[in-house]
Structure 1
Amino acid sequence: MNAIGKWCFLFVWLPSLLQIPVAKSQAADSAVAESPVRESGDAATPNIIYINADDLGVMDVGFNSDRYHTPNIDRLRAEGMLFTNAYAPAANCAPSRACVMSGQYGPRHGVYTVGSSERGKSRDRKLIPTHNTIHLANDDVTLPAVLQDAGYQTIHLGKWHLGPDPTQQGFHVNIGGDTSGSPSGGGYFSPFKSGPMKRFSDQYPAKTHRVDIFADQAIRFMRANQTKPFFMHMAYYSVHTGIEPVPGLVEKYQDKENVHAAYASMVEKMDQGIGKILDELDSLNLTDETFVLFCSDNGGVRALSDQTPYRSGKGSYFEGGIREPLVVRWPGKITPGSTSDVPVIGVDFFPTFLDVAGVKSPSAQQLDGVSLMPLLTQTGDLAERALYWHFPVYLQSYARERDDSHDPLFRTRPGSAMRLGKWKLHEYFEDGRLELYDLEADIGERRNLADRYPEKTAQLHTMIKRWRQETVAPVPTQLNPDYMAADTGGKQKTKNRKTEKASR
């Protein structure tokens, strides 16, 4: 932008954004200055609020369990549509978010896990895992960038985890987002020692919770942009570890059986923040023209929450690791209290949001999902399709006795999974093992039917191999020279023990 353009930005746009601490980024300035304005009164340009909880299990909301108090999430469920077969596109944080923001399955962007793909001890990994891409590239087409180009004011609040600065990836405003996957820089309560939240330490009293700061900043943004269409990404750090009890809330859960009291207080605190946003929409008379989607990024952490009847939790491609709570509200378009049992997945959000906004899909990037609008408006069905997951890396176990995975060392080992109708197939690359489950009869994935139904197993295996070819999904095959295979007694072979000792 030239000097004249910058002065135009200051005089024309800055007054409406003075209440918001805008990230200082030339890319962000340019995007704001050049975005055309479309009035929110135009029915074709509703506001969009995408609320993404962190590590919240499908069973960790009030409408699915009496262990948690979430009246505002329950309100969304009562006033909108609940998806009972909703899936995260990955079983942990960054890859799930990368899939949603790009509209693509993991093999297309290469974000498979958090950090290194070599998780766990090398001696326990039979294969050399695929290299992991840590962040989305700045030239990847993202959902907020497409909406920004269409005239939306865009704000990110909370956890980003896909790069150092969300304003370089489609947002005008960034509140608290960077590369961090957990609430770094001081935890959940102010003051904050470092990172993008540090600037708020002097603006809010000590011991102010992140949820309250995000709610306040979101409200300021909505007030400043109530005459323009906006896209809000409210990406809570809650309820990611480290767990910090919320005073005034934790006490009610301390005597509850089978409830982690501090965790439950964090769930309720997040729900309170959601309530503040919903109440502000009411106050601004924006409720009817605002599309709200609430979900989580992956399954719950088994050490903190119980996902029964689903097996395992975060990091696993059993149902407990990828099932998510998903509710959508849009008054006048979505029937209150409605339900859809159709399997859907996070890569569907990108085309759905574009459909809501009346924006065409980007020609420069293939989207793997489909719009959910026919289901939401109950005007049509989706053709039966397969949902896919790909994880060519390792993810170690943290709670070996509670993870409920195949072995005590890893929540999952390299492999792929898919669902088609009632059938779920797992493939593991270390030994080629196939597991087939009938989710209607065995939602806990305990009875492997691969030998009983060889034709169905072969059909799904062919489909998943074809999908990997289409998405150029890497399959690790190279053996790890550090691997120490166990004998039948569970002890390491003597030769390998000597090798390990010599290498210390």
Structure 2
Amino acid sequence: MKNLSIACLLFVVWLGQPVAASAAKPNLLFIFLDDFGWRDAGFMGTDFYETPHLDALAAAGMIFTDAYACAANCAPARAGLLSGQYSPRHQIYNVGVGARGDARFRQLKHTPGVDTLDPQLRTWAHQLQQAGYRTATLGKWHLSKDPLPYGFDVNIGGTHSGSPPRGYYPPHGKTPGLEQAPADEYLTDRLSEEAIAFIRSCGDRPWALYLTHFAVHTPLDAKRELLEKYQAKPSGKLHQHVKMATMIQAVDDGVGRIQAVLDELHLTDNTIVVFSSDNGGYGPATDMAPLRGYKGTYYEGGIRVPLFVKWPGVVQPGTTCKEPVIGADLYPTFCAMTGAPLPDDQPLDGVSLVPLLRGEKSPAEGRPLYWHFPAYLQSYSVTNEQRDPLFRARPCSVVRQGDWKLIQYFEDGDLELFNLREDLGESTSLAKTEPEQTQRMLQQLQQWQQALHAPIPDERNPDYDPAAEAKAIARARKK
């Protein structure tokens, strides 16, 4: 396996040069899962879930070991992905704009932000449309009522909802393209078949397919035909969840059917396949160990995600990249891959990954990655692996650069510093023992906040009750 490193200066976005146009523009299949954890695929080390088709694609391309979502939960992560921007620019900070969790336990007033991606922003889908691509989004959208104005020619399943329409089995109500779904048809299967139909419909025209499965988001609704198989399978030490296993296999089986159609249509050698997830895995059902945390936390288990890119003729099969990358990087990457133009007047915070994919040096080496969450996200019933048992995330900002990661908390001004090379599980903060490194990274984070006009919550919540909070924390820790 080949390990690669890259470089970039702070606040300078190196977008890379478009790949030279070939006789046939490459197609793009972007498979994007929901709440799929860093270790939930075979190529990332699961010992219970089965993903042979994804594993084969990953082996034929490059796996990114240190890939990150733009946020620790759905909507802000997707906004960063589609816009190529960090959250202070698009201002989607959470799922919804209301305060989350018990008001008595929130020291600060949260920053609501917005819940709809600005329709004036140009997404990477807009840019690919401009380059002559037929575009489709199939599955979860979550950024507005209708994805079509955001650069897509086709929408099936996409609404403002972040959850499957009414579970994974019909009826799906008035969800676009799913109104007449057969009564026993599993939603993941339907989206895979719609992907196949879209590919077949494009003929000789280049296409870009955003296959954004609802799986494996709650409700944990098993594919019925697979239950008996996983009920009989011995549990793994890392993973054991039977319903989750059926949901993951349904995705992977669909990937296998799509790949078979690409082979049939002789499109495999001219189709780029990208696979990733919107945030960390769902804590009550999966495990990202040795990472700490899960969906909603800003520890590694909440923001680190699987990512691979298969690009025939460009990416050397069987390669691995350990350089930290983030979801916002995919916007300039997709443009460079397809020859699509970059927007003229819209700042992008991501960098093109094409040099990495080619095995070349890149100006992204040593660049910092950032997250900003000026809101609250209440706890699961699972309370370990987070900073306190009441919230998965309280208002905070995060920077990672090289091996170092700093988390700044706005309620109490606390800082956590971790060396991820030596302490991947973020078990011991070095903020007090490495004061110079802590201050360097804090200054860097604050400069970024100022440059992007990131809102810093500082207004006290009048409903906050420290005594009630202390009792609730003590009670939760006794469980």
Q: Partners of 2:39 and 2:298 in 1: how far apart? A: 16
Give 1:51's aligned residue: 31
Aligned to 2:199: 222
Q: Which runs of 5+ in 2 are unaligned?
A: 1-20, 474-479
Distance in 2 (CA, whole Å) between partners of 1:87 and 1:141 is 22
In structure 2, distance between residues paired with 1:117 and 1:367: 28
Match of 2:46 in 1: 65
Q: Does 1:164 align with 2:145?
A: yes
Q: CA RMSD in A?
A: 1.6
Structure whose CA Rg is larger: 1
Task: Tell which deviates more after alignment, 192-201 or 75-84.
Answer: 192-201
Q: Percent identity over the alignment?
A: 47
Please state if 1:333 is matched with 2:314. Answer: yes
In structure 1, the partner of 2:168 is 188
Q: Is the 1:95–1:113 Cα contact (8 Å) retained in structure 2?
A: yes
Which of 475, 480, 484 is equivalent to 2:456?
475
Aligned to 2:6: none
What is the SS of the residue equivalent to 1:248? helix
User: Residue 81 of structure 1 aligns to which amino acid in structure 2?
Assistant: M
SS of the residue aligned with 2:425?
coil
Which residue in the other structure is 2:441 paired with?
A: 460
**C-alpha distance in 2, partners of 1:108/1:223?**
37
Question: Aligned pair 1:244/2:196, yes or no?
Answer: no
Preserved CA contact (<8 Å) 1:299 1:314: yes
1:114 aligned partner, one-letter code: V
C-alpha deviation, 1:149, in angstroms = 1.4
Shift in alpha-carbon separation, 1:62–1:123, aligned structure 2, 3 A: same
TM-score by length of 2: 0.91
1:488–1:55 CA distance, 2 compared to 1 (3 A): closer
- Partner residue, 1:207: 184
**Residue of structure 1 aligned with 2:350, choices 338, 349, 369:** 369
Q: Which runs of 5+ in 1 are unaligned?
A: 1-40, 493-504
Determine if the alignment matches structure 1 residue 253 to structure 2 residue 253.
no
The residue that corresponds to 2:18 in the other structure is: none
Distance 2:375 2:453 in 1: 16
> Take 2:155 and 2:175, find their aligned partners in 1: how far apart are those partners?
12
Q: Conserved in 2, the CA contact under 8 Å of 1:251 and 1:261? A: no
**Alignment check: 8 A CA contact 2:84 2:349 kept:** yes
Query: Are 1:53 and 1:297, in contact at CA under 8 Å, matched by a contact in 2?
Result: yes
2:210 to 233, 239, 242: 233
Corresponding residue of 1:397? 379
Pairing 1:137–2:137 present: no
Question: Structure 1, residues 174-209: CA drift from partner, whole Å, max 9, x if none?
Answer: 01101010002x3112332332254232xxx32111
Distance 1:187 1:397, change over 3 A: same
Residue correspondence of structure 1 range 28-47 to structure 2 within 5 A: 42-43=22-23, 45-47=25-27
Could you tell me which amino acid in structure 2 is paired with residue 191 of structure 1? P
Matches within 5 A, 1:417-428: 417-428=398-409
| Residues 44 and 450 of structure 1, relative CA distance in 2, 3 Å threshold | farther
For 1:421 and 1:338, the matched residues in 2 are separated by 20
Q: Distance in 2 between matches of 1:216 and 1:274?
A: 10
d(CA) in 2 for partners of 1:134, 1:140? 14
Deviations 1:138-171 (A, max 9, x none): 1111111111112110011000001111111110
Distance 2:410 2:470 in 1: 23
Structure 1 segments of 4+ aligned residues over 6 angstroms from their partners: none
SS at match of 1:486: helix
Task: Return the offset for 1:350.
Answer: 0.2
Q: Is the alpha carbon distance of 1:331 and 1:491 closer, same or farther for their aligned partners in structure 2, counting shifts above 3 Å?
A: closer
Q: 1:110 to 1:208 in 2, by over 3 A?
A: same
TM-score calculated relative to the size of structure 1: 0.86
Which has the bigger relative contact order, CA under 8 A and spacing at least 6? 2
Distance 1:52 1:489, change over 3 A: closer
Shift of 1:399: 2.1
1:357 is aligned to 2:334: no
Contact 1:44–1:357 (8 Å) recurs in 2: no
Structure 2 Cα separation of the partners of residues 282 and 270 of structure 1: 19
Displacement after TM superposition at 1:42 (Å):
4.0
Letter in 2 for 1:416: S
Give me the whole-angstrom Cα distance separating, in 1, the residues matched to 2:299 and 2:104.
25
